[in-house]
Amino acid sequence: MLAGRLRLLLISVAALLPQLAAPAIAEEPDDLPPYRMVRSLLAVQDGIVQGDQSASEMQRFMLATIDKRLRAAAPDVFRDPRNVDAAMIYAMSGGNPATLGELAARDINGYFDNRLTDSVRQYMNGKGALTVQALTAAMPEYKTSPIAPYLYLVLANASAQQAPKDALKYFDLARLESPGTIIEESALRRGMMLAIKEKDVDRSFRYALIYARRFLTSPYVGQFADAFVDFAVTHHDAGNEQKLVEVLSFFDNRRQREVYLRIARRAAISGMSDFARLAAERAAVLSENPGDDEPRALADLYSSLVNVPTADIVSAVEQMSTIPESALSPEDRALREAARAMAEQVLKQPEAESLAQAAPDSVVDDIPQSPRDGAGASDSPFAATPAAATGEAPPAETAGSDGTAATFVDPQFGDYLSQNKSRLDAIDALLKKE
């Protein structure tokens, strides 16, 4: 009974806290120095990447409140360098770059460095390439300042296209100066993506391992997982197998299973049968919950896909057919249908009337004839003279220019080829979407 009353009291206090705290912030926001408000914003953002998803609403509220405070600030407020730094950090932490521009335009005392304000505004407005030269020149003066990690992150993102090696160095400086913060999370995640693009395998695994240790509760972990799955499939070999297992060891079973399923799917589509089968088997082992049918069904689907082009094609089709529709997403259902359609084309018995027959005394030439008499690239290579050029149906047998008999042309066989080629083209288009 006492425990129940205590629990009810705690719930009531928790419900009242937002109502009590909000007026305290909103009563006199002009009395709070900007650097204190920005410090609170950064604490909220660091909490978000550490797994506090409920702080997202508070982040939006604080960004709006800080924006109003900065716009209403008297010029002498920025006599304190901490408030100048706060305005810069606010702009680089999801704030309104126009506010920073307004503060710089009103500054007649030289509190703001125009090199920095112009560069940050250009970067926030999508013109990052224009900021590299100015920021590079200014960094020696600011490398020990509170805004240095933010400037390093901006400089890394801005130089990633033109100077990826420099960008990776700036990502390292940003994350090493701000451990456990949103700066480190962003620098690790984006640094890994850039290292993958640059085919720096060792650095990519190192970034992935650090990220997995520290930021698996981040709301941006989906971007990390997408990049890591592509990387794991592209650079799979025996030497990297243990590194992959080491990174995934920091995931809980559910997330490991999801990553292995995504790896199996990508590997199956890429034709990496052994790796797809291995990843599917590992996902299946992690799916031994009796009430959880969907992961097991996906593992069965991906392991079946890789058997379609093999001698075990019949059992692969049978296994895919036993997977319930409800256990598959629309994309996986489409993938199964594409694989099944391909298997049906392979297993389909040829129809006697659709096969090309040669005249008893003719010579069948397996080499496609060169286009001539107005034939274009779209004409069948089996036709010596296209029907469109003569306006008549092709004869059963046409003589070649050297007097020998050319290939027999059967309209039904041409229709058969066109029909099945269009099916395979449709399947290829569907797989390319994956």
Residue 280 confidence (pLDDT): 77
Residue 316 has pLDDT above 70, yes or no: no
pLDDT in tens, 78-110: 999 999 999 999 999 999 999 999 999 999 999
Banded model confidence at residue 283, pLDDT cuts 50, 70, 90: confident
Residue 296 has pLDDT above 60, yes or no: no
Banded model confidence at residue 42, pLDDT cuts 50, 70, 90: very high
Is-contact 87 78, C-beta < 8 A? yes
Residue 187 confidence (pLDDT): 97
Report the distance separating Cα 250 and Cα 253, nearest Å.
9
Q: Which residue has the tokens 């716009």?
A: 71
Is-contact 70 120, C-beta < 8 A? no
Query: Which residues are within 8 A (CB) of 182 and not within 5 positions of it... i.e. 6 or more apart?
Result: 42, 45, 46, 48, 49, 93
DSSP-based three-state secondary structure for 399: strand
pLDDT in tens, 149-205: 999 999 999 999 999 999 999 999 999 999 999 999 999 999 999 999 999 999 999
User: Any idea how long the chain is?
Assistant: 434
Write out the two tokens for 104. Answer: 């710089």
pTM assigned to the model: 0.66
Banded model confidence at residue 400, pLDDT cuts 50, 70, 90: very low
What are the E-state strand segments in 139-233? none
Q: Which residue has the tokens 């099945």?
A: 420
Residue 248 confidence (pLDDT): 92
User: What is the three-state SS of 294-310?
Assistant: HHHHHHHHHHHHCCCCC
Residue 319 has pLDDT above 80, yes or no: no
Residue 218 has pLDDT above 90, yes or no: yes
Residue 274 has pLDDT above 80, yes or no: no
Distances (CA, A) of 127 to 91, 112, 122: 15, 21, 5
| Residue 405 β-bridge partners | 399
Is-contact 177 139, C-beta < 8 A? no
